[in-house]
Amino acid sequence: MRVLAFASQKGGSGKTTLSGHIAVQAEKSGAGPVVLIDTDPQGSLADWWNERDDPTPAFAQTNVSRLLTDLEELREQGFKLAVIDTPPAITMAIQSVIAVAELVVVPTRPSPHDLRAAGATVDLVERAGKALVFVVNAATPRARITSEAAIALSQHGTVAPTTIHHRTDFASSMIDGRTVMELNPDSRSATEVIRLWDYLSDRLEKNFRRTVFQARTNQRQAAQPQRSAFGRRQVNQG
């Protein structure tokens, strides 16, 4: 099971909207079963999911203290992807989610204040040694500041090649538990979400392969006898 987390200390960055949309698109693309997890005390993602008519993606009620255990149980139940929304503050909740995530998505609006606020989240992700992707979100089409924001963010990490633009259909979709893909599959907003998921899916797969390869390499190295400074073989004690 892959674990994808949306994190940002800045409120209003679009974490909840993107979490729901990406989870739905992942399910539609065949990457499921997908489960949503809301660690934000405000419960906005849970509220949105409760308005949905479609039973997918699934929703898991949990908290930070049970997160690791519940993720293992969800994995045993056959879920292939967990999408986790986080609170808009640097808290233990965010740190706990980042610790279990394979990829952390940091939605950032193209404004000076939002760009400055991204630094604290980046520090957390880097300290945890996790992969990070910025998503320029709620951008104004053809605005110069959008490209400037992408350039600024690229100095601190990878920026997703797809920008999510500000349109009213995103806000409308969050009212009744739907997504822009379900409201208007042929819309520009739907196309952007589909492209963003394709990119994130590819990153998740590459990160997984890299992690598995590294784990196998470490296991082989640990199993190999090592020579001491005196030329004798040492057997690792476990």
Instruction: Assign residue 184 the CATH number of its domain.
Output: 3.40.50.300
The total number of structural domains in the chain stands at: 1
**How do residues 88-136 score in pLDDT, each as one tens digit?**
876 788 899 999 999 999 999 999 999 998 998 999 999 999 999 999 9
Q: Give the three-state DSSP class for 237.
A: coil
On whether residue 162 sits in a domain, the answer given is yes
**How do residues 186-215 score in pLDDT, each as one tens digit?**
999 999 999 999 999 999 998 766 654 444
Residue 30: its pLDDT value, please?
97
pLDDT category of residue 142 using cuts at 50, 70 and 90? confident
DSSP 75-141: HHTT--EEEEE--SS--HHHHHHHHH-SEEEEEE-SSHHHHHHHHHHHHHHHHHT-EEEEEE-SBPT
**How do residues 40-54 score in pLDDT, each as one tens digit?**
989 999 999 999 999
The model's pTM is 0.87
On whether residue 230 sits in a domain, the answer given is no
On whether residue 35 sits in a domain, the answer given is yes
On whether residue 101 sits in a domain, the answer given is yes
The answer to whether residues 111 and 136 touch, using CB atoms and an 8 Å cutoff, is no
Residue-number span of the structural domain to which 208 is assigned:
2-218
